[in-house]
Every structure is written in C-alpha cells, then in structure tokens.
Chains A and B, each alone.
Chain A
C-alpha cells in the first residue's frame, strides 16, 4: 500500500476538493528496510498539492501518538497507511486531537474488511461535509 494509498487519497479526494479552506499535512515515516529520507523526498510527488506540507518523521513520533489515539490493537499501535480528517476547531495542545474521521490500509492490523478501509471517494465526501 503505502505510496498507493497516498496517491489514491490525492487523486480521489484532495485534488477533487479545490477549496482554500483545506490544509494537507503528509507525514512520511520509515516502515520498511530502505525507507529513507531521500526516498520520501521522491515520494512527495505523489501528493503534489500546493496546500500540502510534507514532513519526514524518522522516529515515527506522529504514527506512534496516533496509534494510541485511534486505539489500534495492543502491540500494533503504529498508525501508518492511515488517513485522517480534522475539523476546523481541532487543536493539538497537551495531547493529540482525535480526528473527525479516519480511514486506513492496515491490512495486517485491522484487515481489508474493516469498515474504515480506505475508499478515496468516501474520504472525499467526509472532507466535503466538513467544508460545507
């Protein structure tokens, strides 16, 4: 999944939501051998949106934090291949805010049959509902 998921979210949701009140934060984090910062720089081309800010999270700080927030199963609390939407009031103060909604491609954690398995179109509709 990985890059494919980012590409789907971009092509099916972000690029079809041309609204200036949308911000996109992409956190690239190493998960496989060979996942390097240089590889992440190249991967940014899959989310080429001008509203996007890209980060390299070498230590997986954000995925670990959201593994807990999203209540992923014990021992697998590393949220990657994970796509979240936050409403306009969300703020990260003492602890990370919970997303309004989220989807994933965590095939080995939650499985492909899980109700929140990524659908780019459903993800786009969720974004649009918050913008309306």
Chain B
C-alpha cells in the first residue's frame, strides 16, 4: 500500500486525521521491525 512521508511537523497526518472528523479513528504507532 502507498506510504505517505511525514514532514517535520506531521502536517500530512494532522490533515488526514482532521479530514476524517465525523468518523471514529484508529491510530497505530508502530515500527516496521
């Protein structure tokens, strides 16, 4: 699946998170190791 690179302020994550307002959101913070 596509992988989106985050900038130093993670604005891409914030935008995706906020765009999904109105939905329940699950966020996983994981390492690929």
Contacts and interface: CB of A to CB of B under 8 A. Distances in A.
A64 to B, nearest CB: 10
Interface string B6-33: 1011101110111011111111111111
Interface string A45-84: 1011000111111110111011000000000000111111
Contacts of A79: 29
Consensus secondary structure, chain B interface: mixed
Contacts of A90: 17, 21, 25
B18 to A, nearest CB: 5
Consensus secondary structure, chain A interface: mixed
B24 A127 contact: yes
Interface residues of B, number: 29
A27 B30 contact: yes
Contacts of B32: 2-3, 28, 30, 35-36, 39-40, 42-43
Interface in A16-35: 19, 21-32, 34-35
A85 B29 contact: no
Interface residues of A, number: 64
B6 A41 contact: no
Given A31-B33, A40-B32, A55-B12, A24 B26 contact: yes
B29 A56 contact: no
Q: List the 8 closest pairs (A to B, CB-CB), nearest first.
A: A31-B31, A23-B20, A43-B32, A32-B33, A44-B1, A61-B10, A40-B32, A39-B32
